[in-house]
Structure 1
Amino acid sequence: MEAGEPREPREPGLGAETAAATAMRWEEANTFCGNLTPKKTPKSPKPQNAVTIAVSSRALFRMDEEQRIYMEQGVEEYVRYQLQHENEPFSPGPAFPFVKALEAVNKQLRELYPDSEDIFDIVLVTNNHAQVGVRLINSINHYDLFIERFCMTGGNSPICYLKAYHTNLYLSADAEKVREAIDQGIAAATIFSPSRDMAVSQSQLRVAFDGDAVLFSDESERIVKAHGLDRFFEHEKAHENKPLAQGPLKGFLEALGRLQKKFYSKGLRLECPIRTYLVTARSAASSGARALKTLRSWGLETDEALFLAGAPKGPLLEKIRPHIFFDDQMFHVAGAQEMGTVAAHVPYGVAQTPRRTAPAKQAPAAQ
């Protein structure tokens, strides 16, 4: 260009627009790459530090068809069927909403206490063949569950491993396995699917307990069975200030209370994502004080206490909408099921019917 020759005119702001467009492309590229970065996986806690919930595969997932194949066609056809369908996730089972609620609590605990291992740890405990594990893993990943610990025993009973996992609660669809766990002093219950679906809270874990033979011993129920209600009321009044002995699920309520206090210490009592309920057939005026004083003597409490004086529990549970309800009597379990509640039977105490002999063949899908 000669000196003094006029420059060609440029569109005003073109350089600025080009720079802005380049910056926008960089931002889009960074966002795209950021989305490709895998999410950080939470670290599994040490078993001795966590509240460990052991759940069987048939409690967590629906495996009715697989169970039928095993019973009718045997283990080889059962495993073959599982391998052929291993990329098809199982449908959610009765314990599924409970497990999702546990994980929702864990998320909040990790936000409040990033370095704490005092959280729920879910362990899948099953006597399934190890080859079935791929379908179980695929199903767990499909539903975005965080279950890193598996125990697959290939047809043998998994109960002997529960103490090694420091199990605080064992849930299974197999009543015999649950009785075996109870006999070893492990909190356990047989879980049942409700007769109809009922929406439960996505933000608050709700757990409902019966009192006698669940949180407490069966001492008082024995009085009722042997001598009737009038004698029972007299006994409870005379022993009002004597704490009942502990029942099989007292330790689980204690573990829930420990986690609740972590929220209380942050000023979140009213917003606590764990809520517990005592739902008992006891009468409040005649026999309720001993139940409440027993909990107090243990340093425990439930958020709500409902004394029904023998009335059906199902309608009240329908209002509570717990993720799980524990009772020692199948009558109350069935009543809860009918109203849409996931109920679990605790086979402990005098109310149990005589044990039946175990079936000759145990399905690997039933834990």
Structure 2
Amino acid sequence: WGDSKALYDSLLSKRPRPPKPQHAITVAVSSRALFDLVEERRIYEEQGVEKYVQYQQQNENVTLKPGPAFCFVKALEHVNTRLCELYPNEEERFDIVLMTNNHAQVGVRLINSIKHYGKGLTIERFCMTGGKSPVGYLTAYLTNLYLSADSEKVQEAIEAGIASATMFTSNKDISYSDTELRVAFDGDAVLFSDESEQIVKEQGLDRFFEHEQLNENKPLAQGPLKGFLEDLGKLQKKFYAKNERLNCPIRTFLVTARSAASSGARVLKTLRSWGLEIDEALFLAGAPKGPILGKIRPHIFFDDQMFHIEGAQKLGTIAAHIPHGIAQKYQKS
């Protein structure tokens, strides 16, 4: 009995415990963002919820294939592993929550699929709401970022003040870094407010350039993803404190349609005023983002405009749409 208990205790101690929610950077991911549930979704829409649940139960030992957020989540887990190597008792790290409106009967297949992928996918917290929207639980789980394949739920979460994005699968099968989390952000209406984008849409580029130069030293207001960039920056500094700057497993990118000469200074000065660093800033002056993103190969790229999302998809980038700002009005019109 003594040997058996020792083995059991050792197994428990090796399994990482989730950080305390008040210290964690909580990323809530829907089941359709984490896994490929296209066929299951078709059954649900065409045959109804009962047939859907029955299908899931009959296939609960069939592992689900990765969805658009899968590589991103694995990269978050890798950062956690590196953090715990340097800081064994670190609580300020990523905590992944599976946030889904699936019924509890479907949970076994989700659990089995997560277990199949081993220690690279450690998800202990589940929220299965049985057909109801899970958005109301995001605040209770202290969510820092919510990723879903359902644009309506993402819109609901954005309106509730929670950083959220709709996930889109890339149209090409490409490889991503296993050792470095790469996150790419658009600027206006993503990291920053849509103040400047409003001028572009309503008054044109010439007025925009004039406005940005006049306000170069006035920081932009924050956008919905500013907080997540801040979270990434806090973790980066933990690696820098251990002399790991050159081996940091987090790298951030600003990929913006702005021109550097005419409107780039305000962006960089805004980040400086916030005390935030960005590892690479790419000012494209209106050029397509897809080719640059294909070179970066981020685990996720956040943008507020669907034509940038679609251009990124075509060239193999996993993109996440932020339904925020004036661009949404023009996309719907």
TM-score (norm 2): 0.95
Aligned match of 1:181:
157
| Structure 2 residue identity aligned to 1:136 | L
Q: Does 1:60 align with 2:10?
A: no
Q: After superposition, what is the alpha-carbon deviation per residue over 1:47-69, rounded to whole angstroms, capped at 9, x for unaligned? A: 11011100000000000111000
Match of 1:169 among 129, 145, 157: 145
* Structure 1 residues 318 and 354, CA gap change in structure 2 (3 angstroms): closer
Distance in 1 separating the partners of 2:269 and 2:295: 26
Paired residues for 1:139-218 under 5 Å: 139-144=113-118, 145-218=121-194
Distance in 2 separating the partners of 1:346 and 1:301: 21
* Structure 1 residues 83 and 67, CA gap change in structure 2 (3 angstroms): same
Bigger mean CA offset, 134-143 vs 345-354:
345-354
SS of the counterpart of 1:211?
coil
Aligned match of 2:254:
278
RMSD over equivalenced CA pairs, Å: 1.7
Distance in 1 separating the partners of 2:11 and 2:85: 19
Name whichever structure is richer in helix by fraction. Answer: 2
| Structure 1 residue identity aligned to 2:92 | D
Q: Does 1:320 align with 2:296?
A: yes
* Structure 1 residues 160 and 354, CA gap change in structure 2 (3 angstroms): farther
SS of the counterpart of 2:113?
helix
Aligned match of 1:264:
240
Q: After superposition, what is the alpha-carbon deviation per residue over 1:214-236, rounded to whole angstroms, capped at 9, x for unaligned? A: 00000000000111000000000
Q: After superposition, what is the alpha-carbon deviation per residue over 1:62-98, rounded to whole angstroms, capped at 9, x for unaligned? A: 0011100010000000000000000111000010000
Deviation, structure 1 residue 354: 7.0
Distance in 2 separating the partners of 1:196 and 1:257: 30
* Structure 1 residues 146 and 209, CA gap change in structure 2 (3 angstroms): same
Deviation, structure 1 residue 167: 0.7
Q: Does 1:47 align with 2:17?
A: no
Aligned match of 1:132:
106
Q: After superposition, what is the alpha-carbon deviation per residue over 1:112-159, rounded to whole angstroms, capped at 9, x for unaligned? A: 111110110000000000000000000000011210000000010100
Distance in 2 separating the partners of 1:354 and 1:128: 33
Match of 2:83 among 109, 115, 121: 109
SS of the counterpart of 1:116?
coil
Distance in 2 separating the partners of 1:355 and 1:131: 38
Deviation, structure 1 residue 301: 1.4
Bigger mean CA offset, 38-47 vs 164-173:
38-47
Q: After superposition, what is the alpha-carbon deviation per residue over 1:272-327, rounded to whole angstroms, capped at 9, x for unaligned? A: 00000000000000000000000111111110000000000000001101000000
Distance in 2 separating the partners of 1:92 and 1:192: 13
Paired residues for 1:23-34 under 5 Å: none
| Structure 2 residue identity aligned to 1:182 | I
| Structure 1 residue identity aligned to 2:254 | L
Distance in 1 separating the partners of 2:232 and 2:24: 11
Instruction: Work out the percentage of aligned pairs sharing the same amino acid.
Output: 73
Distance in 2 separating the partners of 1:70 and 1:115: 43
Gaps of 5+ in 1: 1-29, 357-367
Distance in 2 separating the partners of 1:226 and 1:78: 46
Aligned match of 1:4:
none
Deviation, structure 1 residue 99: 0.5
Aligned match of 1:244:
220
Q: After superposition, what is the alpha-carbon deviation per residue over 1:309-362, rounded to whole angstroms, capped at 9, x for unaligned? A: 000000000110100000000000001001100000000000004798xxxxxx
TM-score (norm 1): 0.86
| Structure 2 residue identity aligned to 1:152 | M
Aligned match of 2:315:
339
Match of 2:45 among 39, 59, 71: 71
Gaps of 5+ in 2: none
Q: Does 1:38 align with 2:14?
A: no
Q: After superposition, what is the alpha-carbon deviation per residue over 1:214-265, rounded to whole angstroms, capped at 9, x for unaligned? A: 0000000000011100000000000000000000000000000000000000
Runs of 4+ in 1 over 3 A off after TM superposition: 353-356
Match of 1:219 among 176, 180, 195: 195
Deviation, structure 1 residue 43: 1.0
Distance in 1 separating the partners of 2:58 and 2:223: 44
Paired residues for 1:89-108 under 5 Å: 89-108=63-82
Distance in 2 separating the partners of 1:302 and 1:253: 9
